[in-house]
Structures are given as C-alpha cells and as structure tokens.
C-alpha cells in the first residue's frame, strides 16, 4: 500500500507491494531498503507462466514460440525460489498469473488442473502461492480442487473476462487455502486499453466502484473472523487512482 496513506491505515494492515521477482543482487538491495515487518509479494515471471510467448517485439526470437520452461518446477526452484529462500519470512505471497494463452496448450480445465497439481506438488512449502486466471471457463471444481490439495489460493480478481469478485466469492469452493488474495484490476467487461484511456494519468478517482469495494471489505471481514491473512492489490485502472481506492475501502473499517 502506498506510503502516502500509511498514516490512515489501521495498524494491523501491513504495507505490501507486488513486484516481479528480480535477480539475486537486486533482491539483496530490495530487502535492505526496508526493515521487517514490511513484506513483499511477487508475481512469478512469465518464464514459468507463459505456455507460448506472444508475437510481440519484446520477446525477440522467442515471439510466437512455445515456452519449454512453462510450469517447470525445476526452473522455478533454481532460478527464483532459491534466491528468495533467505528472505522467506519477508515474502508474503507469490502469484502465478495465467492469461488466455493457457487455452493453446490445454484442451480443458481438467488437463490444466492436473498440470497445476503436478507443478505445486514439486515446490517447497515454505512460501504462500496463489493462482490468478483470466478466463471464467476455468472456474470449475477441478481447478479449485487442484489448488486446495496443495494449499494454494485462488486469486479473486476483477478483470475483463472474469465474473465480479463478489460472484467468485459466492462459490464456496473458491476458498482453497488458509489465506486469501485478491487483485482489483479492471471493471469486468471493460478492455484494458479502454481503462487506460479513461483513467490515465491516474491522479484521481474518476469512477467509484461500490461493488468491488464492498467485495474487498467482505474479504477483510472474512479474514478477521477466521484469523487468517488476506492480501489485496488494487490497480489504478479500476477507478483511476489506487491509493484513493484503498483509502475508501478501509475508510471507517475497524479491524
């Protein structure tokens, strides 16, 4: 959560920032900048989560090609987890984001769930893991079962092609771990590019979203009742100004 509103946050809400996993030297500098109990959450690199590299210039020679390291537990351990292990107590969460590309390699939710189960079974248990999917057709019992078997959380996300966070929360199977995670990114049904045009340069709230705010408050209430952690991330492209959205969510909220 941004430091500019830190003074307004209840003391039990910790600062949290979502980052890509950097290399070892950068990690050393990153964790040295802030003392405990400050924690970081990391989004797992595309080297692990992309089945096929998009046909975009930034992927160079790999553009349009299959990714041999997709869901490779060995690569995940050697290149990323081993680097994070010395700081395990400072790592709140590791998020695996899977976009539309998974449909190119899996013929349905069952095969995707099987691959996830095999992958997480091979990872160490000293980190919290969460999975974010971007397509509603994967919200099936097989997917939730694969996460639950390994204590991995489903990320309740607000995204273009996903049902609302409140609708996802209405499925009791979606709570798959002893913690919860949410990413409030876009209004469901609204393309990313449209959100950028509407809200940039992200200096003020332009479109308050009562539905998403209420759902995120409900996650906080549930976490308190169950004495479990919850990790909530808010993007500027939800309402126009993420710090203001966060402040509104917790305004008057007693933890």
Instruction: Give the right CATH number for 3-250 from 3.40.50.620, 3.20.20.410, 3.30.70.2190, 3.40.50.2020.
Output: 3.20.20.410
pLDDT category at 6 given cuts 50, 70, 90 is very low
Supply the pLDDT for residue 7: 35
* Confidence band of 135 (pLDDT split at 50, 70, 90): very high
Residue 162 burial class via C-beta count within 10 angstroms: exposed 0-12, middle 13-18, buried 19 and up: buried
pTM over 0.95: no
Residue 8 has pLDDT above 60, yes or no: no
**Helix residue spans in 19-123 (DSSP H):** 24-33, 46-49, 73-75, 82-84, 109-121
Predicted local confidence at residue 165, as pLDDT: 98
Lowest mean pLDDT among 33-37, 81-85, 180-184, 188-192: 33-37
- Cβ–Cβ < 8 Å for 184, 220: no
**At residue 236, does pLDDT exceed 50?**
yes
Q: Quote the tokens at residue 122.
A: 């091979």
pLDDT > 90: percent of the chain: 75
Tell me what the mean pLDDT of segment 114-125 comes to.
97
Note the pLDDT tens digit of each residue in 67-88: 999 999 999 999 999 999 999 9
Is the dihedral angle over the CA atoms 132, 17, 228, 184 positive or is it negative? negative
Q: What average pLDDT does this structure show over 171-176?
A: 97
Least confident of 27-31, 88-92, 173-177, 231-235: 27-31
What pLDDT was estimated at residue 19? 58
- Mean pLDDT for 126-145 is 97
Does 95 score more than 60 pLDDT?
yes
The average confidence (pLDDT) of the chain is 90
pLDDT category at 59 given cuts 50, 70, 90 is confident
For residue 16, what pLDDT band results from cuts at 50, 70 and 90?
low
Confidence of residue 11 (pLDDT cuts 50, 70, 90): very low
pLDDT tier at 54, thresholds 50, 70, 90: confident
The helix (H) or strand (E) run that includes residue 169 is helix 165-169
Confidence band (pLDDT; 50, 70, 90) for 21?
low
Phi/psi for 41 (5° steps) reads -110, 145
Closest CA to 116 of 92, 140, 93: 140
């Amino acid at each position: 959560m941004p430091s500019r509103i830190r003074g307004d946050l209840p003391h039990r809400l910790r600062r949290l920032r979502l980052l890509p996993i950097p290399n070892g030297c950068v990690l050393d500098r990153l964790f040295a900048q802030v003392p405990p109990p400050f924690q970081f959450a990391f989004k797992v690199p595309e080297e692990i989560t992309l089945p096929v590299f998009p046909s975009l210039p930034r992927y160079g020679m790999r553009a349009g090609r299959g990714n041999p390291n997709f869901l490779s537990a060995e690569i995940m351990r050697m290149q990323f987890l081993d680097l994070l292990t010395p700081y395990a107590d400072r790592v709140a969460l590791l998020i695996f984001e899977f976009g539309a590309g998974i449909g190119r390699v899996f013929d349905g939710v069952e095969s995707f769930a099987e691959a996830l189960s095999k992958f997480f079974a091979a990872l160490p248990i000293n980190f919290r893991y969460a999975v974010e999917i971007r397509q509603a057709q994967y919200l099936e019992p097989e997917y939730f079962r694969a996460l639950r078997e390994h204590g991995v959380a489903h990320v309740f996300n607000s995204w273009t092609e996903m049902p609302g966070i409140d609708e996802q929360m209405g499925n009791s199977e979606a709570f798959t771990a002893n913690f919860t995670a949410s990413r409030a990114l876009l209004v469901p049904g609204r393309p990313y590019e449209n959100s950028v045009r509407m809200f940039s340069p992200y200096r003020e709230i332009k479109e308050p979203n009562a539905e998403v705010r209420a759902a995120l408050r409900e996650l906080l209430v549930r976490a308190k009742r169950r004495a479990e952690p919850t990790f909530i991330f808010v993007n500027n492209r939800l309402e126009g100004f993420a710090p203001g959205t966060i402040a509104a969510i917790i305004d008057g909220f007693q933890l």
